[in-house]
Amino acid sequence: MDAVEKEAKKRNYAVNMLVRLVKEKPLGAAGAVVLLVLLLVGVFANVLAPYGYNDMDLSARLSPSSPAHILGTDNLGRDLLSRIIYGARISMIVGFSVALIGTALAAVLGIISGYFGGAVDFVIQRFVDGMMCLPSLIVVLTVVAITGPGLLPIILVLGVEGGVGGRVRVVRGAVIAIKRNLYVEASRSIGATSLRTMAEHILPNVMAPVIVMFTTSLGSAIITEATLSFIGLGIPPPEPSWGGMLSLSGRSFMLIAPWMAFWPGLCLCVAVYGVNVLGDALRDLLDPRLEGGSGSYKIKKMIGGGFGGGIFGRRRRQKPENT
Amino acid sequence: MENERILDVENMSKFFPIASGGGAFRRKTADLRAVDGISFHIMKGETLGIVGESGCGKTTTGRCVLRLYDNIKGTVSFEGTDLTKLGAEQARRARREMQMIFQDPMASLDPRMTVGKIIGEPFRAHGEPERKDEIAELFRMVELDPNMAGRYPHEFSGGQRQRIGIARALALRPKFIVCDEPVSALDVSVQAQIIALLEGLREELGLTYLFIAHDLSVVRHISDRVAVMYLGKIVEITRSDELYSNPLHPYTLALLSAVPIPNPRLDRQRRRVMLSGDVPSPVNLPRGCRFNPRCPKRASGLCSEVEPELKPLSPGSDHWVACHHA
C-alpha cells in the first residue's frame, strides 16, 4: 500500500520513470536505446538500406566488407547490411505484434479470471494448465507445419501461445491482490459495471507487471521467430529474417564467408540482450516490492538479465548454436 | 421530518459460507452468521446510527442495505422496492439513489486516478456526461478548492480525502447514504469538521443517513435514532436521547460506560461496566441470549436457554430492546 502510494506520488509518472531508468539502471537504459534504434531502423528500412533486400550483384558474390558493401555480400551477391536492416523490420514487426497480442490476451484473461473468481477462474485456469503442460515450441511447430510458414501465421501462433500461459497467472495474481482494495468495492457501490471497474481501476493498477511482461515477451518473440526461420518454418525466403540468414546459406558458407552468419547473429544477440536487460530494469523499477532493495540484488539481476526469464528462456542458452 | 419510510428492513440475514477443500472439492462446512435476522426502518430525512464492536455485523448491514452482496435473506425495501429481489443489473441501477462513504479514505480512493476523475466516476458509471461545472460544484459542497481536481489522492490529508469520498457519494444526488465509520480513521479535530459537513449536507440536500460507527459519542451527535448491534443482532434500538439517558440492555450499558467523560471528577465517580471475555464466534453462537456468556447481569436460567426477542418496552413505545430482564 505504502509503496503504491509512493509510486503514485510522482506527478509526471512516465518522465520520472525515464529519469530513474537512466540514473538507476544504466544497462537497462542502454537496452532501451538498442530497442529504439532497432525500431527506427525497422520503420525506415527502405530509406536506410543502401540496396533492396533481394538485389543481387552476381559479380560481387561472397565479397567481404568493402566500400560498396559495408558488411559484405552473401552467396547470391545480396548486400548484407541491407538484408540486416530489412531483417530488423521483420524482427520488430514479429516482436511487437506477438508481444502485443500475447500481453493483451494474458491481461484480459488474467483480469477476468482474477476479478470474477469462482467458476470463471476455474475454467480459465484449467485451460491455462492445459496450455502450460504442452512444450511451447512443439505446439508452435505443429501449428506452423499445418498453416505453412509466413509472417501472419507466425505472429498469430506465437501471440496466442505466449498469451495463454504462465502470463495469465502473473496478471491474475496481481488482480487478486488489487481486488481487495476498498476502492474496487467503492466503485461497485457507486454503481459501476464490472467492465468499468476492471477498465478504470484494475487495469491501471496491474500495468506494471503487464509492461514488464510486454518487454520480456518481445525478446522471446524475436528469438523464437529467428529459431523458426532458422529451421525453415518461419519467414519464407527471400524475405530477410535474421534467423533465416543464419540458416542454410549462413552455415554452408561459414568457412569461406563467416560474415554471412556473423552479422545477423550479432544483431540477434544485441537485440535480445537489449530487450531483456530493459525488461529486467523495468521489472525492478516498476515492482514496488523491490523498491529500495539492496544494490547487489539489482546488479545481479542486470547481469543475469540476458539469460533468464521468458517462455523460451531455457532455449535462449542455446544461442551459441545460432551464432 | 416527513412521515415516510425510505428504507424498511425486515428479518434480514447475511451468512457467509465457510468452505474447506480446494478447487472442485470445495464444500461448505459452516455458516458465519454476520447478520442474523434484523429488522429496522429509516424515515425520510432521518439519521439512524448503528453501533457495536468490531465484527458485530454493522458493516455487513450497511453493505446489505446497498445490496453489495448477493443471497441476502429477508427483505430490504428501499422506497417500496425490495432490493433482495433485484437482479445484478437492476441493483446496479438502483445504487444511483443510494451511495456509501467508506471508513478508510486512503484505501477507498484509487491512487492512480486524479480526484477530479474519482468524483466524476459516478457520472461515468451511470452513463451521464461528466460536466466540469458540476464537479466543481461538488468540490465546493465539500469545502474543497475545485482547482485541485488534477491532483492525486496522496496529495491530500485524511480529512480532505474523506471530503473527496463524500463528494463522490453526493455526485448523483442520492437520497440515501450509508456512512461506514466515516470518521474513525481521522484525527479528532478533523472528525468534528467532517461530522459538521455531513450534518450540513443532510439539511441542504434532504439526505437520509445510515451512520455506522463504533464511537458512541460520534453517533449520539449525528443520529436521531440509534441501534446497538451485538453478534449480528440488534439488541436495542431507540431515539438517541432515550438511549443515552435510559439504556436498558446490559450491553448498551457497558458500551456507554466506556465512553470517556471529559471531566475527571465525574469520570471517577461513575461505575464502569467491564465486559469480560471475547465476543463469541459468529460461527458457533452461544445458546440462548447471544450476550449471556459475557453479560454482567445474567439474571436467570432463561438467558442461557431462550433467545430474547427484540420488542417494544411497552406497546407503542419506540424503545425496543432484546433482553429478558430489561
Cβ A205–B108 below 8 Å, yes or no? no
Mutation site, B63, B110, B168, interface A, largest A CB count within 10 A: B110
The interface predicted TM-score (ipTM) is 0.79
**CA–CA dist B115, B139 (Å, integer):** 10
Task: State the pLDDT at residue B23.
Answer: 61
Distance CA B153, CA B148 (A): 10
CA distance, residue B260 to nearest chain A CA (Å) = 31
Residue B56: phi, psi to the nearest 5?
-85, -5
Pick from B109, B68, B156: nearest CA to A201: B109
Provide, as residue numbers in chain B, all residues whose Cβ is less than 8 Å from the Cβ of A186. Answer: 100, 102, 108-109, 165, 168
- Work out the pLDDT band at A288, boundaries 50, 70, 90: low
Read off the amino acid at residue A49: A
CA angle A186, A115, A285 (to 5 degrees): 90
Integer Cα distance of A278 and A21 in angstroms: 9
Cell 506494471 -> residue: A208
Residues belonging to chain B with any Cβ–Cβ distance to chain A shorter than 8 Å: 23-24, 66, 68, 92-93, 95-96, 99-100, 102-104, 106-113, 121-122, 124-126, 152-155, 165, 168, 172
pLDDT band, residue A144 (cuts 50/70/90): confident
Q: Kindly give, in sequence order, each residue whose CB lies less than 8 Å from that of residue B163, ignoring residues fewer than 6 positions away.
A: B142, B143, B144, B194, B197
Under 8 Å CB-to-CB from A153, ≥6 apart: which residues? A143, A144, A147
For residue range B163-182, what is the model confidence (pLDDT) as tens digits?
999 999 999 889 899 998 88
Q: Give the pTM.
A: 0.77
Which backbone phi and psi does A230 adopt, to 5 degrees?
Answer: -60, -40
Residues of chain A with Cβ-Cβ distance to B106 below 8 Å are 1, 5
Within 8 A by CB and 6+ apart from A2, the residues are none
DSSP 3-state helix, strand, coil percentages of chain B (rounded to 5)? Answer: 35, 25, 40
Cis peptide bond upstream of B174, omega within 30: no
Question: How far, in Å, are A69, A268, B251, B292 from residue B301 at the CA level?
Answer: 104, 85, 18, 10
Best B64, B83, B112, B117 member to test A by mutation, with max A CBs in 10 Å, is B112
| pLDDT exceeds 60 at position A306 | no
Whole-number Å distance between alpha carbons of B162 and B150: 17
Give A7's contacts in chain B (Cβ within 8 Å): 111
* Residue A271: band (very low, low, confident or very high) from pLDDT cuts 50, 70, 90: very high
